[in-house]
Amino acid sequence: MRAYGLVGAGEITAAIVEGLSADVADPPAVFLSPRGRQVAHELAGRLDAASVIVLAIRPDVAQQVVAELEFRPDHVVLSAVAGMPLATLRAWTAPAAHVVRTIPLPQAARRHSLTALFPDHPVARDLFEPLGGVVVPPDEPTLDAFSAATATFAAHLDYLTTIAGWLAGHGVEPAAADAYVTHLFA
Ligand SMILES: NC(=O)c1ccc[n+]([C@@H]2O[C@H](COP(=O)([O-])OP(=O)(O)OC[C@H]3O[C@@H](n4cnc5c(N)ncnc54)[C@H](OP(=O)(O)O)[C@@H]3O)[C@@H](O)[C@H]2O)c1
């Protein structure tokens, strides 16, 4: 079975791991690289076992983190790093043969993430189709458009939080205000 090495142990990694593992009889092997464990040789050892490397770190630290890893020609790199172009990722991860940009969503935890990715690759499909499906745009600029659209979700959540706060300010118990707004926009 395929083994995944996830670099960065934040929100999106947690969602992917939960979606891959929860209620799954025979989940794939997953190797995590939390920052606290980032002694270079130990990290390299953990990722040695993986044929697929998922980059789930923020753009501002990505180059520094990736520079400490050693990629092999047989590695497939799936990058979730927002906005990082393929050409840059390929240069950073050489000699890895294949690099795919992906936009997984937190809904991956419930296997409801429609994950935009480019270019198309069977390894990326194997990971993300069970987590809610994939959408593959025709080119990289179109993937960037998906990325921009995805970013509006944070503003949407802020909007809902503002409404719930307003409701709570009008005498509704805060948990009940949250529950009502969740129901209203569900
Ligand atoms: N969240 C989303 O909905 C979403 C959707 C699509 C794409 N993305 C992209 O996915 C990437 C990860 O997002 P996220 O939301 O999962 O971010 P996050 O929750 O902030 O997680 C980032 C992880 O990277 C770790 N990290 C930071 N510096 C590191 C280092 N030097 N070495 C190793 N690990 C390090 C952080 O460790 P610490 O906890 O110790 O800081 C944290 O565990 C970002 O590029 C983001 O734009 C996110």
Given a cut of 70, whether residue 138 has pLDDT beyond it is yes
Q: Give me the helices (H) in 49-111, please.
A: 59-67, 86-93
Ligand 1 site, residue 16, Cβ cutoff 6 A: no
Residue 105 CA to residue 11 CA, distance in Å, equals 9
Residue boundaries of the structural domains of the chain: 3-136, 141-185
* Ligand 1 center–CA 57 separation, angstroms: 4
Relative to beta strand 98-103, strand 115-118 is antiparallel
**What pLDDT does residue 39 have?**
47
Look up the pTM and report it: 0.90
CA atoms within a 13 Å half-sphere pointing along the CA-CB vector of 49: 15
Confidence band, pLDDT 50/70/90 cuts, at residue 25: confident
Candidates 3.90.1310.10, 3.40.50.720, 3.30.70.980, 3.40.50.300; correct CATH number of 3-136?
A: 3.40.50.720
Segment among 28-32, 51-55, 90-94, 135-139 with least mean pLDDT: 28-32
Q: Is 89 in the pocket of ligand 1 (CB under 6 A)?
A: no
Distance of CA 119 to the CA centre of its chain: 16
Q: Whose CA is nearest to atom 19 of ligand 1?
A: 10
- Which ranges of 10-139 would DSSP assign to H, the alpha helix? 11-21, 40-48, 59-67, 86-93, 122-128
Dist. CA 130–CA 16, nearest whole Å: 10
Residue-wise pLDDT tens digits, 83-110: 999 999 999 999 999 999 999 999 999 9
Whole-angstrom distance, CA of residue 119 vs CA of residue 90:
12
Per the CB < 8 A criterion, the answer to whether 32 and 9 are in contact is: yes
Spatial contact of 102 and 115, defined as CB atoms under 8 Å apart: yes
Q: How far lies 86's CA from each of 25, 151, 182, in Å?
A: 35, 19, 37
Residue 124 has phi, psi (to 5 degrees) of -65, -40
Q: Is the CB of 149 under 6 A from ligand 1?
A: no
The Å distance, Cα 12 to ligand 1 centre, comes to: 7
pLDDT score at 1: 75
Cβ of 58 less than 6 Å from ligand 1: yes
**pLDDT for 44:** 62
Q: What is the pLDDT of residue 46?
A: 66
Which tokens go with 18?
């939960």
| Ligand 1 atom nearest residue 12's Cα | 16
